[in-house]
Amino acid sequence: MTENATPAEALRIEAADRLIARQISTDWTEENQQDLEQWLETPANRLAYLRLQAVWTRAQRLEAARPLRRPHSAPTAPSRRPFSLKFAAAALIACAIGGSTLYLSQPDMRSYATKVGERQTLTLTDGSTIALNTNTVLKLSTNSNARMAVLEKGEAVFQIQHDSTRPFIVTASGHRIIDLGTKFLVREDGDKLKVSLIEGRARVETAPGSAAQRSATLLPGEVVLASANTLTKSKAPLGKLKNEESWQRGQLVFEAATLADAARELNRYNTQKLIITDSAAAKLTFDATIPTNGVETFIRVAQQVFGLHIKREADTVIVSR
């Protein structure tokens, strides 16, 4: 809340705040952007806008907002009422009712974290759910008018109740995922991001300010792999994608998986780490469903199915021929 602001200042700040909030909407157009630029030509308006951008950055909301950019050409119809003035009119009414006291949408972010081997399911007030996998950190807006989350590391399944007026936005690895009536899985691994769509639709966009601004709309069974400046979309069997969320049941489903891949996955869930020292053994493939805490199950497969040698050292299990 900002107090002691003059009506004119309150008007500008409220309009700027509403504009930034609208920029994370899925229906922001080039015409809207041109109107915004026209409004920003007034120095006082631009100052209010830049100050609000700083506030949103501190609230970790700016990551989900579209970057400010200059249009290719200036608006040619000066008589047309600018889009942003509609918000200014609404702000003027708010100032008339509430005086100079101004409420700004500055959502607090609450952190949720799971340890290695832990899982947690969050249920939102709108009925949406977010399932956190092992060793995951997620920040979630506590403001019901700003449906957004930041996946700082790990993996989560988002089952989102769609609201076209308030899209749910997930930021991960600098990119953002916008729900369009969706169940999707997001896995953040350093500077790499994997988004798998299970139901509905979702849009993935490269990080604001990246060298090549790109986006991809996903349908069920489609997967996006994203790095700093790239988006690569591919198709996967829907059954396989559903297997990827089997960790919610405490299981890992492996189909034609190498021992190396299986060991890498199990290491995400356990403090006892599997190390395969033999390159030929690492490439052996198998099909199995193993509990997320199933290090001993993996060891039995390695010994009984493949005849491999097991050596235990402290918190590591070394697998070799």
Q: What is the pLDDT of residues 249-262, one digit of tens each?
A: 999 999 999 999 99
Indicate the residue among 28, 63, 98 that finishes a domain: 98
As a whole number of angstroms, the distance between CA 261 and CA 244 comes to 13
Q: Tell me the average pLDDT across 39-59.
A: 63
Q: Does residue 297 register a pLDDT over 90?
A: yes
Domain extent, residue 230, equals 109-240
Residue-level pLDDT at 206: 80
Distance (Å) of CA 158 to CA 131, 197, 279: 7, 10, 37
In a domain, 1, yes or no: no
**Count: domains in the chain:** 3
Q: Tell me the average pLDDT across 33-43.
A: 70
As a whole number of angstroms, the distance between CA 142 and CA 263 comes to 37
Same domain, 197 and 230: yes
Same domain, 30 and 78: yes
As a whole number of angstroms, the distance between CA 209 and CA 228 comes to 10
265: CATH = 3.55.50.30
Q: How many residues does the structure list for the chain?
A: 321
Same domain, 231 and 135: yes
Same domain, 226 and 113: yes
Judged by average pLDDT, the poorest of 32-46, 73-87, 207-221, 283-297 is 73-87
In a domain, 103, yes or no: no
Same domain, 148 and 81: no
In a domain, 94, yes or no: yes
Indicate the residue among 178, 211, 240 that finishes a domain: 240
Q: Does residue 269 register a pLDDT over 80?
A: yes
Q: What is the pLDDT of residues 89-138, one digit of tens each?
A: 344 334 433 433 333 444 578 999 999 999 999 999 889 999 999 999 99
Q: What is the pLDDT of residues 59-101, one digit of tens each?
A: 544 444 444 444 444 444 444 444 444 444 344 334 433 433 3
Rounded to whole angstroms, the maximal C-alpha distance in the chain is: 81
181: CATH = 2.60.120.1440
In a domain, 196, yes or no: yes
Question: Are the beta carbons of 171 and 150 closer than 8 angstroms?
Answer: yes
As a whole number of angstroms, the distance between CA 104 and CA 190 comes to 33
Contacts of 134 (CB under 8 A, 6+ apart): 114, 115, 116, 117, 118, 119, 154, 155, 247, 268, 269, 292
Same domain, 281 and 228: no
